[in-house]
Amino acid sequence: MVQIRLLGPVEVLGDNGVERRLASSRQRLLLAGLAAHAGDVITADALIELLWGDCLPSHPLAALQSQVSRLRRRLGPSAPIVTAAGGYRLEAAEMVDAVRFRRLLDRARRETGDALVALEEALGLWRGTPLGGLDAPGLDLIVTKLQEEHADAAERRVLALLGLGRYGEAAAHAGELAAAASFRERPVALQMEALARAGRHAEALRVYAAFGRSLAEELGLDPSTELAGLQQRILQASAGPASAALPPAPATSLVGREDELAAAISHLRSGRLVTLTGPGGVGKTRLALHLAHGLAGNYPGGTWFCDLSALKAGRGIDASVPGRWAWTPAPASS
């Protein structure tokens, strides 16, 4: 199957994987315009503006038809360009890498079990700046949208790794994101959280300090209260028992549990202890984690996570340190 690649320099690969070189940058522009909207009709006027801007040829429609004819020959019958409704449509959208990327990202947004698999495959399609080598105002919005979706996929990969306890990998990927996005706080927060969960509290605090200095020097701003709150929780975790932990980050959003969340919040306002009950697999831990993350700012010491699944016979729990948990040997007679 022919492959049309937009997630990097615009390329066409034949059935044998060998690149089919296009005759000119105008041919690549035409391909990019059609492939970025694969399955939809692009009007002749829109394509003429994309290809020539204000420097129109003497017969724009005839010139466009000539360009389309050349591109059809180059792509071959497996990548049909159809004339329809005053414009053109590229069919067989599955051959476009940007289309496959979006389908994988949508799958990752819906699923929980193998979201990481879909995200890794989606991110593996990228080869550099989308539509690289092309310069046309009509492509700016397409490039920006693709870059935003790439950032979303990359951040979701970090969250998925955090949810699986692969903190070192999560920290490495988050660090790359933070380096690529100078003043975005989200990648910095993910990097700090991943480092903290890996027990590398000092590194997490250095990341915060470096980001704060850069923000102050370049923009005259301070980190947000949310990021500062994360720094404080990491400081407290570094001073507490080794088993103290920030709540693991939920890998995906919580949907359809608004009533349960509201009820739990209401109970927390009137009592010091709220217990979530139900059979295994109904989502008790998931609900608790979303509560913990959502309410962290309401408590001076933040919220903490104690994984009781690791508790074995002959061991007890010491809650003598306010705001923290630590495992201790139980008395021999218990």
Report in angstroms the alpha-carbon separations of 256 from 3, 145, 165, 303. 39, 28, 26, 24
Question: What pLDDT score does 295 carry?
Answer: 64
Strand partners, 332: none
Threshold 0.75, pTM exceeds: no
For the chain, list the domains and their CATH numbers. 3-97 (1.10.10.10), 165-239 (1.25.40.10)
> What is the arithmetic mean of pLDDT over 282-293?
76
Q: What is the pLDDT of residues 146-185, one digit of tens each?
A: 999 999 999 999 998 988 888 999 999 999 999 988 789 9
Q: What is the pLDDT of residues 98-111, one digit of tens each?
A: 999 999 999 998 87
Please determine, for residue 325, whether its predicted confidence score (pLDDT) is greater than 80.
no
Closest CA to 104 of 1, 238, 7: 7
> What is the arithmetic mean of pLDDT over 34-50?
95
Question: What pLDDT score does 326 carry?
Answer: 38
Dist. CA 184–CA 228, nearest whole Å? 14
Percent of the chain with pLDDT strictly greater than 90? 51
> What is the arithmetic mean of pLDDT over 46-71?
95
- Residue 48 — left, alpha, or beta (φ > 0 → left; ψ -120 to 50 → alpha)? alpha
Question: What pLDDT score does 15 carry?
Answer: 84
> What is the arithmetic mean of pLDDT over 119-127?
96
Dist. CA 319–CA 323, nearest whole Å? 8
> What is the arithmetic mean of pLDDT over 39-44?
95
